[in-house]
Structure 1
Amino acid sequence: MTRTATPDSAQGGKVQREETFTEATRVPLWDPEHDDVLVCRQVRQETHDVKTFVFSAREPRTFQFSPGQYMTFELPVEGMLTRSYTISASAARPYRISITVKRVPGRPGSNWLHDYMVPGKEVNVSGPSGDFTTDATKDEKLLFISAGSGITPLMSMTRTACDLAEPKDLHFVHAARTPQDIIFRRELELLASQNAGLRLAFTCETSSASDSWGGFVGRLNLTMLGLMSPDFMNRKVFCCGPGPFMDCVRTMLAEAGFDMSRYYEESFDFGVLTATPIPEPTVAPEISGQTYRISFPKTGHVVECHPGMTILSAAREAGLLPLSSCQRGICGTCKSKLLSGNVDMKHGGGIRKREIEQGKILICCSTPLTDVEVEL
């Protein structure tokens, strides 16, 4: 685009000046069907055992995701490990993706990220996926309740709301072990100081004199919640945290008479996967009626599958515990190779079209139509 300007000259006259402007190059969208590599750009230490990992594509891409969604990472641990992590970044800043991960003893995924993920390192991913999301810029009363690293989807929602417009009426309650364990504490306090519609409340299980802590102390309870968010009964609640924490929140709200149709929670814990050593192979049961045989050549197991039963369900019924997480075909954790046979797979976005064409399936949502062989 060319524009002609006529600024005043030093002599008081008019001088013609031509300025040329070019439209910014359009950055292609991240296409989950084809784009599958992220490059680590930055690592930030949030607390003593929590890090944020910032990624972008190899070539410039813009990411479209809803705050609260996650991406599934393939980590080079024990051959290959699939783990899903919630995006903690603002959806209003589309050029980078970040995840915030707590190091947990005994969990290979989080430990590998903490030990080996550095700027410049690449990782294969799929997504974004997930349906735990809301628009915190709407004119409705919201209450976010989180604990530990469960803060990440709610932080993405809060960051997005603050980037797009001031949150209308948002109460954010977070529980941590100690004041030092509050993830994003300084950023949340800054956002609250800049956005009148955002109200914060933290509670810590323990604190010491050295903490100079003036907030709530103890596990979240109904009395405490009433002080943090006096009108919580009139709000829509979004909750995320460890399973026992969410169980307690549900029980607490139900006992208070809260309308549970206005309660939403992250539907599964990405960090807790069903995985234990597979027992010794057993003799395949006799087939009776309309059953199918599912063979696992790597381990030598053969199990029986009844009509309408998924491969994962049949394996569990036989005492096997393959890696799985969401059990709804959205996270990709149970992705496996179909070596032979046919299945009916009704997935929720956890597998790409090209992966299906390569013979891969999600065993949590695949029902055998014939005898099948599966490589876990």
Structure 2
Amino acid sequence: MGTPRLNWAAEPWNDGEELECAMVIPETADCATIAFRAPSGAWFDYQPGQFLTLELPVPGGPVQRTYTISSSPSRPLSLSITVKAQPGSVGGRWMLDHLVPGMRLRAHGPAGQFTSLRHPARKHLFISAGSGITPMMSMTTWAWDSGEMPDIVFVHAARRPSDIIFRQRLEQFASRVPGLQLRFTVEEVESFEVWPGYRGRLSQIMLGLMAPDYLDREVFCCGPEPFMRSVREMLASLGFDMTRYHEESFAAPALEEVPVEMAPPAAVSEVSFAGSGLSVACDGTETVLAVARRAGLNIPSGCNFGLCGTCKVQKVSGEVAMVHNGGISDDEIAAGLILACCSRPQGSVTIDL
């Protein structure tokens, strides 16, 4: 395929275009970093910590899956995601088993507001667990490439030392700059291995030892929801200013009772799809995404709970009840865009699809 060259005359890579797999790099057990480049020679423009949604041709029909970008925009020739196959995984398992250099996938994004660029600070504290390390790696690489001395305490929790993704790369960074301090903790240690780091679940005492000045730092956290909940509770009980706490999760939030004022109406609603000429009746309890699928129309989607922004569509007219989790901005809402996965029609609604 030859050596990729950055064409500065080209436009940046655009949402919805294809990506070509360039390399598959093993990281840990059932985990690999997949590097992509643009077949057109376009370069990549995004913010460290953002994510992509990929369309994956799995058996039984295509699915959309959302992955954090683990590379840094300071290296625009390629873009990487790091995939760990979880139990019951469909998309991740397919990628690890079948994706090889030369294959192409359609992608949507980049998107997301979990980035240190939106919350500039003199000192940062990154806290992650498992595959939640990926946005932290992107932000750390950005800081390394900036040419300025970073002040980052990087706390990561894993089951075993061999499960720490990017361990060697992070240690190489930290060995060159004193401003990057690595603090790893594991639940168990492999036999016949010397482990100089922390051992046990992250706790208040451990956090105080890892980052004594945590109250002065901007905190970014990513990992399984129980882990992030414990970090939130820990920081709040220690008097941390939670306006300086930021987290990212692709797990669906716990279900909550819908307030009376947001309950869908019992009256019959209707969704019209302007581009296809279809009109579908519904009772107001279905989302626009569900109605579209019932009509045989495809709206790309990823998380399905209003976080990733993949299912963004233009509302031409009508009203919807939309309860999202940050996947759409106020400016986009003002422009008439909605997230199909979490928008329920309130009467007659027309969508540009």
What residue is the counterpart of 1:71 in the other structure?
Answer: 52
Alpha-carbon distance between aligned partners in 2 of 1:286 and 1:171, rounded to the nearest angstrom: 49
2:284 to 268, 280, 305: 305
Query: Offset at 1:90?
Result: 1.4
1:328 to 306, 326, 338: 306
1:292 to 238, 259, 269: 269
Q: Provide, for residues 245-288 of structure 1, a one-character-per-residue CA deviation record: whole Å limited to 9, x for no partner.
A: 1011001111111111110001x316x699xxxxxxxxxx9954
SS in structure 2 at match of 1:210: coil
1:39 aligns with 2:20: yes
| Distance of aligned partners of 1:131 and 1:138 in 2 relative to their CA distance in 1, 3 Å threshold | closer
Q: Provide, for residues 178-212 of structure 1, a one-character-per-residue CA deviation record: whole Å limited to 9, x for no partner.
A: 00000000110010011121111000011134221
Summarize the alignment of residues 92-131 of structure 1 with structure 2, pairs less than 5 Å apart.
92-131=74-113
Q: Give the RMSD, CA atoms, in angstroms.
A: 3.8
Alpha-carbon distance between aligned partners in 1 of 2:99 and 2:86, rounded to the nearest angstrom: 16
What residue is the counterpart of 1:54 in the other structure?
Answer: 35
Contact 1:136-1:167 within 8 A present in 2 as well: no
Alpha-carbon distance between aligned partners in 2 of 1:158 and 1:137, rounded to the nearest angstrom: 14
Contact 2:7-2:43 within 8 A present in 1 as well: no
Alpha-carbon distance between aligned partners in 2 of 1:181 and 1:53, rounded to the nearest angstrom: 18
What residue is the counterpart of 1:256 in the other structure?
Answer: 238
Alpha-carbon distance between aligned partners in 1 of 2:246 and 2:198, rounded to the nearest angstrom: 24
Q: Unpaired runs of 5+ in structure 2?
A: 1-5, 255-263, 273-279, 293-300
Query: Offset at 1:370?
Result: 1.2
1:154 aligns with 2:136: yes
Query: Offset at 1:365?
Result: 3.7
Q: Unpaired runs of 5+ in structure 1?
A: 1-23, 275-284, 296-300, 316-322
What residue is the counterpart of 1:17 in the other structure?
Answer: none
**Structure with max Cα Rg:** 1
Alpha-carbon distance between aligned partners in 2 of 1:136 and 1:273, rounded to the nearest angstrom: 23
Q: Provide, for residues 159-196 of structure 1, a one-character-per-residue CA deviation record: whole Å limited to 9, x for no partner.
A: 01101123431100000000000000011001001112
Q: TM-score, normalised by structure 2?
A: 0.77
1:236 aligns with 2:215: no
Aligned pair count reads 314
| Distance of aligned partners of 1:192 and 1:287 in 2 relative to their CA distance in 1, 3 Å threshold | closer
1:133 aligns with 2:115: yes
What residue is the counterpart of 1:181 in the other structure?
Answer: 163
Query: Offset at 1:135?
Result: 3.6
1:90 aligns with 2:68: no
Alpha-carbon distance between aligned partners in 1 of 2:109 and 2:39, rounded to the nearest angstrom: 16
Alpha-carbon distance between aligned partners in 1 of 2:319 and 2:11, rounded to the nearest angstrom: 31
| Distance of aligned partners of 1:314 and 1:73 in 2 relative to their CA distance in 1, 3 Å threshold | closer
| Distance of aligned partners of 1:128 and 1:366 in 2 relative to their CA distance in 1, 3 Å threshold | farther
Q: Provide, for residues 288-313 of structure 1, a one-character-per-residue CA deviation record: whole Å limited to 9, x for no partner.
A: 4xx41569xxxxx975217xx95479
Contact 1:72-1:126 within 8 A present in 2 as well: yes
Letter in 2 for 1:49: D
Alpha-carbon distance between aligned partners in 1 of 2:210 and 2:234, rounded to the nearest angstrom: 15
Alpha-carbon distance between aligned partners in 1 of 2:230 and 2:70, rounded to the nearest angstrom: 24
Alpha-carbon distance between aligned partners in 2 of 1:42 and 1:72, rounded to the nearest angstrom: 19
| Distance of aligned partners of 1:130 and 1:243 in 2 relative to their CA distance in 1, 3 Å threshold | same
Q: TM-score, normalised by structure 1?
A: 0.73
> Relative to structure 2, which stretch is displaced further, 360-369 or 192-201?
360-369
What residue is the counterpart of 1:364 in the other structure?
Answer: 342
Query: Offset at 1:49?
Result: 1.5
Q: Provide, for residues 137-163 of structure 1, a one-character-per-residue CA deviation record: whole Å limited to 9, x for no partner.
A: 966111000000000001000001101
1:211 to 193, 217, 225: 193
Letter in 1 for 2:66: S
Alpha-carbon distance between aligned partners in 1 of 2:29 and 2:235, rounded to the nearest angstrom: 32
| Distance of aligned partners of 1:372 and 1:150 in 2 relative to their CA distance in 1, 3 Å threshold | same
Letter in 2 for 1:44: I
Alpha-carbon distance between aligned partners in 1 of 2:307 and 2:240, rounded to the nearest angstrom: 31
1:227 aligns with 2:237: no
Contact 1:41-1:55 within 8 A present in 2 as well: yes
Contact 2:161-2:190 within 8 A present in 1 as well: no
Alpha-carbon distance between aligned partners in 1 of 2:95 and 2:130, rounded to the nearest angstrom: 18
Alpha-carbon distance between aligned partners in 2 of 1:40 and 1:25, rounded to the nearest angstrom: 18
SS in structure 1 at match of 2:156: strand
